[in-house]
Structure 1
Amino acid sequence: MSVNKFLWGSATAAYQCEGAWNEDGKGLNEWDVFNHESPLNIHNEDGDVASDFYHRYKEDIDLMADGNQNTYRFSISWARIIPQGSGAINPKGIEFYNKVINYCLEKGITPNVTLFHYDLPNEMAKIGGWENREVADAFHEYAKVCFKNFGDRVKIWSTINEPRYYAYCSYVVGNYPPNYKADFGRFWKVLYHLMLGSAKAIQSYKELGMDGIIGIVHDNGNVELDPDTKEKELVRLRADIFYSRMVLDTALLGKLPDKLNEVLKDNSVDAFFLHEEDFPVFQKGRADYVGLNVYNRQYVTDYSQGKTEVFHNNVGKGSASKEGIRIKNMFETSFDPNTRRNLWGREVYPKCMYDCLMEMKERYGNVLVYITENGHGQYETPDNNGYIKDPERIKICGEFIDYMLKAREEGVNVQGYYLWSTMDLYSWINGYEKKYGIVRVDFKNNNRRIPKESYYWYKDLIAAKRDI
């Protein structure tokens, strides 16, 4: 299967936009439980209603179509399909996604479906989550249910959204459930099992003879060294495997990264969870494409001194904290004083789009790439009519897109761009104040939809680039 025209669209994730958290037979996921029960839910907000996409999907898809978008990236809630994570299938869940898929096709929009975007069924979390190899097998069975029910119409699949970042937030930063901090043993084990589950699903997709393509979505991990870095080769090796190659080598080359064991040793992690019998699965479960979620680079230098420390900012305005990490005996984040940062301490560095795409071509050849997320989070104040002007988003996303097109002109096989996000939604631990949408959702007024200035900008941009 090949998709000939360039795909211009936008993206969401199930927990962040659907709502209907306990409707029509859906099971609990770990975010339902975390947000209802944990004191670590710092903003005391949840996705119970979110953007109410579950009841308003037609309105949202109509807005995409009216905005010239020809594709929509969304995720399926595992617990809506299989409430306990394994076992009985929920027919109402199948029915809902059939309606979404069919309506996308009716409106000329290509569905791009992600199977897992952070929202692990709670029954899976109870048995250890992705630390437990049984969860990789349960994910594989869930994936086959989705392929058999939706694969006749869904032609672009991704297995897992950001396995590295999911493991990082859940087991290193500790701001996502199950909220372990700086536990690198768990981090690497979970990341390995995520890649194993992904490979099993891809292998089955191909063995089922499905007519489509299947890949994985990775948070851009292109490493850039501070010029003052002393042990350049060693720091790059460690950071590359940590941020990028554990996902991309495994998914695209079908094998774990060379020197992985050395890096695990440097990180004081026992590699007992690596099993040779899994290696043929990785080889047979190679991805057809990779989706890249591009927001920032990974700017690093030598480890200096002091204990392992994570710098993360889920507070936003009023905090001077910058995003980064120091990992004892590995490497640490370097902070470039000449680079812009957003209010959450993350670099705003559009050139990383070009750099990461050129690196993909250099390392992995003519691999098919979609930019599966790119966007800009900010605080917003509507005018008296509820309208949002967001020139900063337009400027920054425009710069990212220009760099993407430059890389494409220089031979990178990038064939799609998804702006994050389709509408305002629940931004995980950041709650609802951090806005990414190009359509405003008035959460205090029946979730009314109001397209923003950026919606019309994107509509016009797509019209102008329709023939690339």
Structure 2
Amino acid sequence: MSNVKLNDKFMWGGAIAAYQAEGGWNVDDKGYSNWDHFSNSDNNPFNINNVSGNDATDFYHHYKEDIKLLAEGGHNSFRFSLSWTRIIPEGVGKRSAAGIAFYNDVINTCLKYGLEPNVTIHHYDIPQKFEDEFGGWKDKRLIDYYFDYAKVCLEEFGDRVKLWTTLNEPRFYSYCGYVMGNWPPHKHKDLQSYWETVYNQLIASAKVVKYFKENNYEGYIGIVHDHGTVEVSPETRDKEYVYNHAELFFNSLVLDMCAKGKIPTNLEKFLKESGYDTSFINYQDENLLKEGIVDFLGINSYQRFYVTDSTGETIVTHNNTGKKSNEKESIKLKDWFDITEPEHVSRNFWGREVYPEAIYKGIKDVSEKYPGFPIVITENGHAVYDTPDETGYVEDDDRIEVLQQFVDYVLKARDDGYDVQGYFVWSAFDVWSWVNGYVKRYGLIRVDENDNFKRIPKKSFYWFKDIIKTNQITL
């Protein structure tokens, strides 16, 4: 256990992201983001559900109702992200009084109802002008622009927000944008850009953490990583080679830089062996990384990565349609590893393995490799096709069954001595699920986008309320 207590009590809550929930994409002088651009583009090949996030689930106009509902459900914390272009419409320069007032009211409403605000500064949405001008996170100029934006967030909200994360899933953000290619800027199998954009985000994160600590902000600041434990299939010929390459790709690049304050020792070696340009790596950055080590690690946990020897060219598959498609969420990375499939795998409709024990293995793996850091499960959920009855109520027993197993493993991890200090369900209420639109749902509360975004708690909402009531944990 660490000496850091992020709260007096174990945090139970739900999570959302700005673009997926807020709507109000062009109201009150909000600027134009990469996701505004992507989901409204006429040539967007991935918007298969023919719906943008312009309205999302209208949190912008429903936040007071939403936060009150979460409080009634027993939540003592609420995780949400800030929209860069709502706070600084042009990405740099003048602040939006309306945008800042909105987030002030969200934060104050949380505090009114006894919910600790858990605030993420950047969750995938950046000003589109930076993509247009220099390619976004591919260019190191964005590090300083992001730093200036983060300073504004701390200045405006740091008197009340005591729990911050710099970035949500820098690895997955880059993976979807440059490898899988189904998110902006939708580049497919551009592995060079993948490595560069992850690296630049982590330097930016360290810069903000350093500033947070130097200026003695009250509270704690961390990062959110989409962790999955790497497991090597028994038939793998070169187990150590496959494990080390997969671990770098999926986990250690992020966690070494933010928790150890160093560039992974094998990063340059592995990349050079595979013909990548490594000029983006600057070992002088380790001076900043050492001063920008996080206070805690946020883990978004859904799955493991089951790998074996590479069998050929890079192949990336994904499934945006669901509906029991045979497409699986997977990657084969040339000369590095293949994602393979163990026997008797259960998958959800979108091709992702359903394996609740992954959350326990992930907590154990991170705790043992990066000791001394509190862990918060900042996201964990189960996507299904919700079928409401005539009143709009959803009996989501399949979601409850899976989430119960995840929660049981989190509590087991605490019982076994691992320093887990919070669990946030993805998602607090239904949100717009990126390229899956409103089809793929995670929420504890149903949002009916066809009936003025009416909120109807699902069966899982009441299940989670009972979980919280039964597991009041003092830290």
Secondary structure of residue in 2 paired with 1:370: strand
Instruction: Give 1:83 deviation, angstroms.
Output: 1.0
Secondary structure of residue in 1 paired with 2:425: strand
Partner residue, 2:191? 184
Consecutive unaligned residues in structure 1, runs of 5 or more: none
Instruction: Give 1:267 deviation, angstroms.
Output: 3.7
TM-score (norm 1): 0.98
2:68 aligned residue (39, 58, 62): 62
Secondary structure of residue in 1 paired with 2:103: helix
Q: Contact (CA 8 Å) 1:221, 1:240: kept in 2 or not?
A: no
Q: Contact (CA 8 Å) 2:73, 2:464: kept in 1 or not?
A: yes
TM-score (norm 2): 0.97
Q: Contact (CA 8 Å) 1:266, 1:330: kept in 2 or not?
A: no
Partner residue, 2:102? 96
Name the amino acid aligned to 2:465.
Answer: K
Q: Contact (CA 8 Å) 1:13, 1:75: kept in 2 or not?
A: yes
Count of aligned residue pairs for this structure pair: 467
Q: Contact (CA 8 Å) 2:263, 2:283: kept in 1 or not?
A: no
Q: Contact (CA 8 Å) 1:294, 1:374: kept in 2 or not?
A: yes
Cα distance in 2 for partners of 1:183, 1:454 equals 40
Cα distance in 2 for partners of 1:202, 1:366 equals 17
Cα distance in 2 for partners of 1:266, 1:457 equals 51
Cα distance in 2 for partners of 1:442, 1:43 equals 16
Cα distance in 2 for partners of 1:358, 1:366 equals 12
**Aligned residues: CA RMSD:** 1.0
Aligned residue runs from structure 1 range 64-463, under 5 A: 64-126=70-132, 127-305=134-312, 307-463=313-469
Name the amino acid aligned to 1:246.
Answer: L
Structure 1 runs (4+) greater than 6 angstroms displaced: none
Secondary structure of residue in 1 paired with 2:48: coil
Q: Contact (CA 8 Å) 1:46, 1:431: kept in 2 or not?
A: yes
Partner residue, 1:8? 12
Cα distance in 2 for partners of 1:117, 1:414 equals 22
1:19 aligned residue (13, 19, 23): 23
Name the amino acid aligned to 1:317.
Answer: K
Q: Contact (CA 8 Å) 1:184, 1:267: kept in 2 or not?
A: no
Query: Do structure 1's residue 39 and structure 2's residue 52 form an aligned pair?
Result: no
Secondary structure of residue in 1 paired with 2:57: coil
Secondary structure of residue in 2 paired with 1:276: coil
- Which string of whole-angstrom CA distances, capped at 9 and with x for unpartnered residues, describes residues 412-451 of structure 1? 1100000000111100011111010010001100000000
Cα distance in 2 for partners of 1:50, 1:312 equals 23
Percent identical among aligned pairs is 47
Cα distance in 2 for partners of 1:373, 1:353 equals 11
* Highest RCO, 1 vs 2 (Cα 8 Å, sep ≥ 6): 2
Instruction: Give 1:318 deviation, angstroms.
Output: 4.6
